[in-house]
Amino acid sequence: MSHLLRLLLFLIAVSPLTIRAAEPQPRPAAAGIASAHPLATQAGHEILARGGNAFDAAVAVAAALAVVEPYNSGLGGGGFFLLHRARDGFEIMIDARERAPLAATRDMYLDRDGRPVPGRSIDGALAAGIPGIPAGLVHLAEKYGRLPLKQSLAPAIRLARDGFPVTVQYGKMCLRQHDRLEHFPETARVFFHDGFIYGVGEKLRQPELARALERLAAAGRKGFYDGDVARRLVDGVRAAGGIWSLKDLADYRVIEREPVRGVYRNVRVTSAALPSSGGVVLMQMLNLLQGFDLDAMDKPRRDQIVIEAMRLAYRDRARYLGDADFVNVDVARLIDPAYAAKLREEMPALKPVSTAPAKTGEGSNTTHFSVVDRDGNRVAATLSLNTPFGSGFMPPGTGIVLNNEMDDFSVKPDAPNTYGLTGSDANAIAPGKRPLSSMTPTFLENGETVAVLGTPGGSRIISMVLLATLEFSHGRGGPKDWVSLPRFHHQYSPDVVAYEASAFDESERHALVRRGYRLEALRGGYGNMQLVVWNKKTGRVEAVSDPRGEGLGQVK
């Protein structure tokens, strides 16, 4: 071998690239799953124990949640799955968001005078977008999973067919929705006992839903978007005044999207891309806050700065954001720290905006779960029907409650939706378009620790993820503190700071009022954050579930 060749081989052998490749990748000492229901968390661990990876577990958890939390998500809904594959660091967001039916029109929820008809985008078949979760589960299993879809859906099928004991939360949701669901006889038949609410511990069986899940398991996407289930869905929707067609279902596809990425202090943030506003708004708020020495401030001052960052970022949400497959959104500019630096100049001059009275958000609709497996694969998934039990409508014989995600469109520019959010033309309704969401499945990573998190809560989702991100990034407290932290929220319009009672003490409340803020004290808590944290140095994994909910974080 020539001297030159030997030298070349030596250089290749000791090159930094080769040395890095040879380094063992850190691995978690255990797998962690946190979800809003213990049976869903257990379904995920069952699939891991059978040899599945985090992506198979995500299929199992999502499908189980569809059965045991039928008010928050399900086959009739949509959502976003954020994935990290350990083997090569590949990250992607699976957009399984609902689409507007092809017969949808911009003004479909307005009366002849151009005013939104109350309830039309919320109640009944006309409020439902074309569901994405079934396609999301199939895609996850086929492209990223190790196990056949059939195996990962088995725990959910069992829970639907054999029944599960209903919880306090199930009772509360049914009680709150009782009068509304009475208008939807099929839904009431499935979720009530001859019109009465199930007692805690009584078994709810959902044989029609079990059959729909079995179809999905046997036939993949065709089991939902084609054939018998599709026909029943379309016939049911049309008979109830909706506008779905078989083509709507046949055409539905999940879309793989590059997540939104950014850096706050020393933390790498990876979050949801459009059509969720989550990642853009989160990154904008963090960029705005990057210009302040928050650690040097007392709590009242710090909170005020955070409120102002929320105000500005939610303002841009209303002005610019929508489905980027339909409208031009300059995401790169919006999440550019240089743009935040310019916006920061506006902060001291911000004035209350005069808006029509509206709600400031919502607490717990939707669901979230987080998974880390023993290889370090991760999933953060936020899934929704929109408001509790979605549209309330269940096409007969399907066992599937349909979403009312069409209300997440701006049904008319500047008219507030159910969360009080307003929007522009960017989020106007168009056939096949996806409504703007606030769901914010997120990964945080500093040199040592990985956090996988998210929460339900309508427009308040993004501000909740922000508050937890700040605690993580500034090294305050640990995982349990991050999910239980008292919360506050501002969404630009209406100009109100909504807060949990313990978020501000009396002197802070007075200080905020003196500075001109309108405060809205919320009864009870909101959100239901699910978090898995993996310390790459020690291997330790923690899975924690928000104490406001009845979920379970479990490490095995």
Which residues make up the interface to ligand GLY (CB under 6 A)? 366, 384, 386, 405, 408, 437-439, 458
Residue among 421 and 485 whose Cβ is closer to ligand GLY: 421
CB closer to ligand GLY, 304 vs 437? 437
Pick 208 or 405: Cβ nearer ligand GLY: 405
Q: Could you give the CA distance from residue 272 to residue 266 in angstroms, rounded to a whole number? A: 20
Helix (H, G, I), strand (E, B) or coil at 341: helix
Phi and psi torsions of 469, nearest 5°: -65, -40
Q: Measured at CB, which residue is nearest to ligand GLY?
A: 437
Catalytic residue, chosen from 187, 366, 367, 398, is 366
What does the alpha-carbon distance between residue 532 and residue 443 come to, in Å, rounded to a whole number?
Answer: 10
Burial class of residue 14, CB neighbours in 10 A (0-12, 13-18, 19+)? exposed
Rounded Cα–Cα distance for residues 133 and 494 (Å): 32
- Residue (366 or 545) nearer to ligand GLY, CB: 366
Q: Which is nearer to ligand GLY, 377 or 403 (CB)?
A: 403
Q: HSE (CB half, 13 Å, CA atoms) of 123?
A: 11
Shortest Å, Cβ 521 to ligand GLY: 24
The residues, any chain, with a CB within 8 Å of residue 185's CB and separated by 6 or more, are none
Nearest approach, Cβ of residue 327 and ligand GLY (Å) = 17
Looking at beta carbons only, is 249 or 439 nearer to ligand GLY?
Answer: 439
For 194, residues 6+ apart whose C-beta sits below 8 A from its C-beta are: none
Q: Count Cβ neighbours within 10 Å for each residue of 230-242 and write b for 16 or more, e otherwise.
A: bebbbbbbeebeb
Give phi and psi for 78, each to the nearest 5. -145, 180
- What count of other Cβ atoms lies within 10 Å of the Cβ of residue 396? 14
Residue closer to ligand GLY by CB (options 361, 525) is 361
The secondary structure element, H or E, covering residue 203 is strand 203-204
Buried b or exposed e, range 421-434, using 16+ CB within 10 angstroms: bbbbebbbbbebbb
Both tokens assigned to 421: 């959010």
CB of 78 to ligand GLY, least distance (A): 8
The answer to whether the peptide bond before residue 275 is cis (omega within 30 degrees of 0) is yes
In the residue annotation, 366 being an active-site residue is answered as yes
**Distance in angstroms (rounded) separating the CA atoms of residues 451 and 481:** 13
Q: How many CB atoms lie within 10 A of CB 85?
A: 17
405 versus 508: smaller Cβ distance to ligand GLY: 405
CB of 319 to ligand GLY, least distance (A): 17
**Angstrom distance (rounded) from CA 487 to CA 459:** 13
Distance CA(310)–CA(439), nearest Å, equals 16
**Which active-site residues does the annotation give?**
366
